[in-house]
Structure 1
Amino acid sequence: MSVFLFPREEPDRILRINLEYGVFYFQVNQWVILSVIFVVNVCL
């Protein structure tokens, strides 16, 4: 219900911030996964 208290442009800004965090989080995850795979390959 509190969403309706925001001005009209506010949800768009929140959505954009969440999207940027999502992209950043995905990129970090990608690097972590690649690093783990690389380390496992080197150790084996």
Structure 2
Amino acid sequence: MHKKHISFSSFMLTITSYVGFLLAALTITSALFIGLSKIRLI
């Protein structure tokens, strides 16, 4: 039971870091896209 709990928390940690990485990538991509759009508008 204890071993299963450790594996579950490790699984949650992996998912959390993966979601965090996706959010960071999405934020950077949208920021670059907005920057390029503003440069083109000028």
Deviation by residue 1:11-39 (Cα, 9 ceiling, x = unmatched): 11000000001111111111000000000
After the TM superposition, which parts of structure 1 deviate over 3 Å for at least 4 consecutive aligned residues? none
Let me know the Cα RMSD of the aligned residues.
Answer: 0.5
C-alpha distance in 2 between matches for 1:8 and 1:34: 39
SS at match of 2:15: helix
C-alpha distance in 2 between matches for 1:32 and 1:25: 10
Higher relative CO (Cα under 8 Å, sequence separation at least 6) belongs to 1
Shift of 1:8: 1.4
What TM-score does the superposition give when structure 2 sets the normalisation length?
0.84
Q: Which of the two has greater helix per residue?
A: 2
What TM-score does the superposition give when structure 1 sets the normalisation length?
0.81
Match of 1:10 among 4, 10, 13: 4
